[in-house]
Amino acid sequence: MLEVGCKAPDFTLQDQNGNEVRLSNFYGKRIVLYFYPRDNTPGCTRQACAFAKSFEEFRNQDVVVIGISKDSVASHLKFAQKYDLPFILLSDPELKAIQAYDVWKEKKLYGKVSMGVVRTTYIIDSQGNIEKVMPKVKPDTNAAEILTYLEDLK
């Protein structure tokens, strides 16, 4: 897990439309960078929809929301279209950002051990530093917790 105060690792990945997106292009704004395991799974869908529902509140606070998983660009596009997701989804099949942000971990499910993305959210300040780390977030409450955190900063 990266620590509060350290520089957020920069990366360039493709979004759901196939455009290259570089994290540092958003410096000057606060960034909510959330890592999730997989498109169209129940928890990931609930989390994405919660961010979509709160998107205007994030935008009104000049906050950029970016979701990252190892799914393909095509998968992200279908996911975004199916649930009308208004924010950026980045495809990281080579695990560049996923490993740089230390969210690729051993997971155990029903006694079976495998590697996968641990649902984690980072808030990055306008200078590109990690402002808050939220490990093992709950999909249903993640967006609301971030909005509460942002409100408390005012």
Return the active site residues. 44
Question: 96-129 b/e with 16+ CB inside 10 Å = b?
Answer: bbbebbebbeeeeeeeeeeebbbbbbbbbbeebe
Task: Count Cα neighbours of 89 within 13 Å in the Cβ-side half-sphere.
Answer: 32
According to DSSP, the residues that pair with 140 across neighbouring strands are none
Q: What is the DSSP letter of 102?
A: T
Burial level of 71, CB count in 10 A (0-12/13-18/19+)?
Answer: buried
What is the Cα–Cα distance from 90 to 85, expressed in whole angstroms? 13
